[in-house]
């Protein structure tokens, strides 16, 4: 093998999926992983459940520790090492050893950038970095929140932003006994749903006991002793003992500014289907990259564990000399807030309007089981389909137990250009404990097909 | 409209789906439904849950009563009317009014046969019609079982046959406090699964407290006062207070013998994709018809509520003058036995061997949620794919809560000729309460693709 040293920046989902793949193919290759924290290969998605106490020990979120990678897989994992810059001409990266406080250059033959995402933080607002203000991204960020709660016993929290993480953190803090308020700039939470579906989630959140301030924007913080005490919006002042940002995330690519690596949407790294950047021998994967949306055929930025694992595997395969391709995603996502389940896939109305695609929609209420079977819960399904062709373009589901995973059939349908008639014709499983005889997604398709 | 009188034989899923569709399109058309029982439009699939007491009142299983059809939809529903013969040359049917005891001929312009299926009964064995021997099919059959249990308080039951209904009835009778034995001719229960997966279900059934006699065949009954007291197999004698057949079902088409309507597999009515029989103006739908298997491209006999509803709707559309087609099914089925969920779709090994299709299989164990998330249950997924092409041919799932409905993605994949790589690439939903980051069906595809 002419290229000897593989350097990977970032030791979580994408980076370690790639690492493991390369190691399986090349048992002797030199692989060095630089990770800024003390942790590798953990489930960042599990953090809200650690905060809530649903998951007891933070160790449960760790799939493989740096030591395991070192000893069992012969991977040179360097924790507490922050990469500061990439010099693609010199095929080297600049690294800060955070423990020693020293900087050095590391040569690479092949490089994989898998630095993930970071929660959006309104850096123009003074107090955004106060000690009781938190983002949720790395395992360290989760531990920080947990320690803060344990040490200071806050009684109230304000969440800024009503996306998945905002809602999951709202649940977590409710469970911990805090009074929770949520400030959301848009008229409804969960802006990856259409507003009519988002409104149902807003209602559900309120029913859980979250004080919801919709159509309202964070303007400033009042701070005392490096702690935020008041959150000031365009409409009111809210006192709180802690603040959590749930305003979405952006790629962790600031250290690439000035490098020759091409960046795209939101600063995410541009990659081809093999997860190669514009620079030879430099790959990128996971939340720091752009993702092709298979429905709009446009690139988007999403930060999701599924995509990170898939793109990490594809990058690893390519680096290992195998052929592999990541075709793209359709924006499938799912979220649980207390007993409510929310799921979505494909494009939503505002995206379709922007793309100038003529579409029709229908929304139905059904049950998760046969009506008469105990535990049958309400499920609401909204479908979006192309006018005339009837091709499914997107789906949104809100319901209780058993509702959300039904999005997977819609994700499969959207990916493979199935029409509403195709969905009606699907031989989906039925027995009274599992579904009505027409699965709710088919009931929605039956309603919508009349308008195509 | 030249054809004025639509006659429908059978008032359950297929018949009444068609009826409702025709009525929506033609508010004034004369529609007569002959139904041999007192009930219409009920969920036969719910019977085991009525027997177990999970569903309290039998009325809950009825979607629309004969009276509702009569008054609200102007459908002339004639209950307790058994159709004895069809004379297609004369465009008339011979009917027995069971209450009056009279026979008469009814003319039709269009005829839909939707007489459903009946549980297989070993009629060569004396005692098969004893008063404590039951099949499960019509609502009446469920009421008979319930009344028998209530009136005679049986302490033990033997189920003959280990298919879906056999297992669901085993659960129901266990819940009712009976000692339950199950006699199964094959070496494993649930012969729509491969034997390796069936063995897992056998094990689960035993763990629930069912005494399982596998590889064992019913030979005769000992009867006293028209009641079976002993069940004699090729290996032993079992005493029991009641017997339930769960040996599969066959189409209810004996009354068509001697007619010109073409019958196929197991005596099921041959139909085209519009659900038309070989005779003009005669349609058929539901459990009395053959179904095209979209994977094998061969006709099969299955008795399922989903197919009955779909084919009823298609037949009704055709009768109403609309264009509609039922493309076929892929043999998806799902079953719950206590905490176990079992699901299958597509072809199984023995079918693939018979068809001479070269295939590969893999089986994996995973969890229904993220490992660390409370309530994560074991799920086992087996996939079957075509050698070389990697096209998915079938899937089987066994697990606990949250396992079975995952079959729907596989059913969609099988129907639309997706490959294992397509499945790996699917953007399926993930959050810790719902799934591992690689959904178990994808984990299975990742394992199997190595052998393609």
Q: 């061997």: which residue's tokens? A: B353
Q: Which residue of A has its CA nearest to B413?
A: A412
Q: Which residue of A has its CA nearest to B401?
A: A402
pLDDT, one tens digit per residue, over B357-387 is 999 999 999 999 999 999 999 999 999 999 9
Residues B221 and B122: their CA atoms lie apart, in Å, by 11
Residues A327 and A72: their CA atoms lie apart, in Å, by 32
Residue A48 buriedness (CB in 10 A; 0-12 / 13-18 / 19+): buried
Please give, rounded to a whole number of angstroms, the shortest distance from the CA of A75 to a CA of chain B: 23
Name the CATH topology of B121-247: FAD/NAD(P)-binding domain (3.50.50)
Residues B221 and A344: their CA atoms lie apart, in Å, by 56
Mutation site for A-interface testing, chosen from B429, B443, B445 by largest number of A Cβ within 10 Å: B429
User: For residue A318, what is the enclosing H or E element?
Assistant: helix A305-319
Do B197 and B189 form a contact (C-beta atoms < 8 A)? no
Instruction: Supply the pLDDT for residue A290.
Output: 98
Whether residue B1 has pLDDT greater than 90: no
Whether residue A298 has pLDDT greater than 80: yes
Do A82 and A38 form a contact (C-beta atoms < 8 A)? no
Question: Is the CB of A51 inside 8 Å of chain B's CB atoms?
Answer: no
Instruction: Supply the pLDDT for residue B3.
Output: 59
- What CATH number should be reported for the domain whose range is B335-451? 3.30.390.30
Q: Which residues of A, range 396-415, sit inside 8 Å of B by Cβ?
A: 402, 404-409, 411-413, 415
Positions of B annotated as catalytic residues are 45
Coil/strand/helix, residue A306: helix
Please give, rounded to a whole number of angstroms, the shortest distance from the CA of B306 to a CA of chain A: 6
pLDDT, one tens digit per residue, over B218-263 is 999 999 999 999 999 999 999 999 999 999 999 999 999 999 999 9
Q: What Å distances lie between residue B274 and A435, B24, B37, B282, B302, CA to CA?
A: 26, 19, 28, 11, 18
Do B117 and B137 form a contact (C-beta atoms < 8 A)? yes
Instruction: Count CB atoms within 10 A of the CB of residue B225.
Output: 7
Cross-chain residue pair A43–B437, CB shorter than 8 Å: yes
Q: Which residues of A touch B396 (CB under 8 A)?
A: none
Instruction: Supply the pLDDT for residue A3.
Output: 59
Instruction: Supply the pLDDT for residue B224.
Output: 96
Q: Which residues of A touch B409 (CB under 8 A)?
A: 408-409, 412
pLDDT, one tens digit per residue, over A341-395 is 999 999 999 999 999 999 999 999 999 999 999 999 999 999 999 999 999 999 9
Q: How many CB pairs under 8 A join A and B?
A: 187
Q: Which residues lie closer than 8 Å to B307 by C-beta, 6 or more apart?
A: A427, B286, B287, B291, B329
pLDDT, one tens digit per residue, over B27-50 is 999 999 999 999 999 999 999 999
Dihedral of alpha carbons B79, B85, B86, B87, sign = negative
Q: Which residues lie closer than 8 Å to B68 by C-beta, 6 or more apart?
A: none
Q: Which residues of A touch B326 (CB under 8 A)?
A: 425
Question: Is the CB of A373 inside 8 Å of chain B's CB atoms?
Answer: yes
User: How high is the mean pLDDT of chain A?
Assistant: 96
**B169 token code pair:** 């009835």
- What CATH number should be reported for the domain whose range is A333-451? 3.50.50.60
Q: Which residue of A has its CA nearest to B409?
A: A409
Do A145 and A131 form a contact (C-beta atoms < 8 A)? no
Q: Which residue of A has its CA nearest to B335?
A: A431
Cross-chain residue pair B437–A330, CB shorter than 8 Å: no
pLDDT, one tens digit per residue, over A33-86 is 999 999 999 999 999 999 999 999 999 999 999 999 999 999 999 999 999 999
Q: Which residue of B has its CA nearest to A48?
A: B432
Closest CA to B418 of B362, B346, B363: B346
Mutation site for B-interface testing, chosen from A41, A308, A408 by largest number of B Cβ within 10 Å: A408
Q: Which residues lie closer than 8 Å to A100 by C-beta, 6 or more apart?
A: none
Question: Is the CB of B429 inside 8 Å of chain A's CB atoms?
Answer: yes
Mutation site for B-interface testing, chosen from A136, A165, A427, A450 by largest number of B Cβ within 10 Å: A427
- A335 has catalytic annotation: no
Closest CA to A284 of A3, A7, A90, A57: A7
Do B154 and B132 form a contact (C-beta atoms < 8 A)? yes
Question: Is the CB of B192 inside 8 Å of chain A's CB atoms?
Answer: no
Give chain A's largest Cα–Cα span: 69
Give the pLDDT mean for B82-95: 98
Domain boundaries, chain B: 5-40+60-118+250-319, 121-247, 335-451
Q: What ipTM score was computed for the predicted complex, to two decimals?
A: 0.97
Q: Which residues of A319-346 are buried (b: 16+ CB within 10 A; e: fewer)?
A: bbeeebebebbbbbbbbbbbebbbbbbb
Please give, rounded to a whole number of angstroms, the shortest distance from the CA of B413 to a CA of chain A: 8
Give the pLDDT mean for B311-334: 97
Whether residue B2 has pLDDT greater than 70: no
**B420 token code pair:** 């294992």
Identify the architecture of domain A5-37+79-117+251-319 in CATH: 3-Layer(bba) Sandwich (3.50)
Coil/strand/helix, residue A420: helix
Q: What Å distances lie between residue A74 and A24, A34, A40, B11, B333, CA to CA?
A: 11, 14, 14, 69, 46
Cross-chain residue pair A372–B49, CB shorter than 8 Å: yes
Question: Is the CB of B450 inside 8 Å of chain A's CB atoms?
Answer: no
Please give, rounded to a whole number of angstroms, the shortest distance from the CA of A86 to a CA of chain B: 30
Mutation site for A-interface testing, chosen from B42, B413, B427 by largest number of A Cβ within 10 Å: B427
Instruction: Supply the pLDDT for residue B442.
Output: 98
Residues B250 and B142: their CA atoms lie apart, in Å, by 18
Dihedral of alpha carbons A10, A11, A12, A16, sign = positive
Cross-chain residue pair A370–B46, CB shorter than 8 Å: yes
Closest CA to B160 of B278, B247, B250: B247
SS (H, E, C) chain B: CCCCEEEEECCCHHHHHHHHHHHHHCCCCEEEEECCCCCCCECHHHHHHHHHCCCCCHHHHECCCHHHHHHHHCCEEECCEEEEEEECCCCEEEEEECCCCEEEEEECCEEEECCCEEECCCCCCCCCCCCCEECCCCHHHHHHHHHHHHHHCCCEEEEECCCHHHHHHHHHHHHCCCEEEEEECCCCCCCCCCHHHHHHHHHHHHHHCCEEEECCCEEEEEEECCEEEEEEECCCEEECCEEEECCCEEECCHHHCCCCCCECHHHCECCCCCCECCCCCEEECHHHECEEECCCCCEECCCCHHHHHHHHHHHHHHHCCCCCCCCCECCCEEEEECCEEEEEEECCHHHHHHHCCCEEEEEEEEECCCCCCCCCCEEEEEEEEECCCCEEEEEEEEECCCCHHHHHHHHHHHHCCCEHHHHHHCCCCCCCCCCCCCCHHHHHHHHHHHHC
Sheet containing strand B81-87, strands side by side = B81-87, B92-97, B102-107
Please give, rounded to a whole number of angstroms, the shortest distance from the CA of B363 to a CA of chain A: 20
Question: Is the CB of A302 inside 8 Å of chain B's CB atoms?
Answer: no
Do B201 and B189 form a contact (C-beta atoms < 8 A)? yes
Q: Which residue of A has its CA nearest to B426?
A: A412
Question: Is the CB of A304 inside 8 Å of chain B's CB atoms?
Answer: yes
Cross-chain residue pair A307–B333, CB shorter than 8 Å: no
Cross-chain residue pair B372–A334, CB shorter than 8 Å: no
- Closest partner residue to A43 (CB to CB) among B370, B407, B426 is B370
Angle between helices A13-25 and A305-319 (to 10 degrees): 30
Q: Which residues of A touch B394 (CB under 8 A)?
A: none
Q: Which residues of A, range 321-360, sit inside 8 Å of B by Cβ?
A: 326-327, 329-336, 341, 343, 345
Q: Which residue of B has its CA nearest to A59?
A: B372
Question: Is the CB of B379 inside 8 Å of chain A's CB atoms?
Answer: no
pLDDT band at B434 (very low <50, low <70, confident <90, very high): very high
Q: Which residues of B touch A329 (CB under 8 A)?
A: 427
Do B285 and B275 form a contact (C-beta atoms < 8 A)? yes
**A425 token code pair:** 């014709």
Q: 């093999």: which residue's tokens? A: A274
Residues B255 and B116: their CA atoms lie apart, in Å, by 12
Give the pLDDT mean for A409-438: 98
Instruction: Supply the pLDDT for residue A216.
Output: 97
Helices within A56-163 (DSSP H only): 66-73, 139-152
Whether residue A1 has pLDDT greater than 90: no
Catalytic residue, candidates A45, A121, A223, A338? A45
- Domains B5-40+60-118+250-319 and B335-451 alike in fold: no
Identify the architecture of domain B5-40+60-118+250-319 in CATH: 3-Layer(bba) Sandwich (3.50)
Please give, rounded to a whole number of angstroms, the shortest distance from the CA of A134 to a CA of chain B: 21
User: For residue A164, what is the enclosing H or E element?
Assistant: helix A164-175
Give chain B's largest Cα–Cα span: 69
Question: Is the CB of B62 inside 8 Å of chain A's CB atoms?
Answer: no
Concatenated DSSP letters of A174-189: HHTT-EEEEEESSSSS
Q: Which residue of B has its CA nearest to A396?
A: B429
């Amino acid at each position: 093998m002419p290229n000897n040293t593989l350097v990977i920046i970032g030791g979580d989902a994408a980076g370690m999926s790639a690492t493991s793949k390369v190691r399986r193919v090349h048992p002797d290759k030199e692989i060095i992983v630089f990770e800024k924290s003390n942790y590798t290969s953990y489930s960042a998605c599990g953090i809200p459940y650690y905060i809530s106490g649903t998951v007891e020990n933070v160790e449960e979120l760790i799939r493989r520790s740096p030591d395991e990678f070192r000893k069992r897989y012969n991977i040179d994992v360097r924790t507490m090492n922050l990469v500061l810059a990439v010099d693609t001409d010199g095929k080297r990266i600049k690294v800060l050893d955070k423990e020693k406080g020293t900087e050095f250059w590391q040569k690479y033959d092949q490089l994989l950038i898998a630095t993930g995402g970071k929660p959006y933080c309104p850096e123009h607002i003074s107090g955004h970095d106060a000690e009781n203000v938190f983002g949720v991204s790395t395992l360290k960020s989760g531990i920080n929140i947990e320690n803060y709660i344990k040490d200071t016993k806050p009684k109230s929290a304000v969440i800024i932003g009503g996306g998945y993480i905002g809602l999951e953190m709202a649940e977590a803090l409710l469970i911990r006994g805090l009074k929770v308020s949520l400030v959301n700039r848009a008229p409804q939470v969960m802006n990856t749903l259409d507003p009519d579906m988002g409104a149902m989630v807003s209602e559900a959140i309120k029913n859980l006991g979250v004080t919801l301030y919709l159509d309202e924007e964070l303007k400033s913080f009042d701070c005392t002793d490096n702690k935020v005490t008041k959150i000031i919006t365009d409409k009111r002042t809210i006192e709180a003992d802690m603040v959590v940002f749930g305003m979405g995330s952006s790629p962790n690519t600031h250290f690439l500014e000035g490098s020759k690596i091409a960046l795209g949407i939101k600063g995410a790294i541009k990659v081809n289907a093999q997860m190669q950047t514009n620079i030879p021998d430099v790959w990128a994967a996971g939340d720091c990259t752009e993702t092709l949306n298979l429905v709009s055929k446009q690139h988007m930025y999403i930060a999701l564990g599924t995509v990170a694992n898939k793109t990490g595997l594809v990058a690893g395969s390519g680096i290992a000399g195998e052929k592999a391709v990541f075709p793209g995603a359709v924006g499938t996502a799912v979220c649980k807030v207390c007993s409510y389940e929310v799921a979505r896939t494909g494009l939503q109305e505002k995206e379709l309007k922007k793309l100038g695609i003529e579409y029709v929609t229908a929304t139905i209420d059904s049950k998760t089981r046969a009506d008469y079977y105990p535990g049958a819960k309400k499920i609401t399904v909204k479908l979006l389909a192309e006018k005339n062709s009837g091709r499914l373009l997107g789906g949104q589901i809100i319901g209780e137990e058993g509702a959300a995973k039904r999005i997977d059939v819609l994700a499969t349908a959207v990916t493979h250009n199935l029409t509403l008639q195709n969905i009606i014709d699907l031989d989906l499983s039925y027995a009274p404990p599992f579904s009505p005889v027409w699965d709710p997604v088919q009931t929605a398709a039956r309603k919508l097909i009349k308008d195509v």
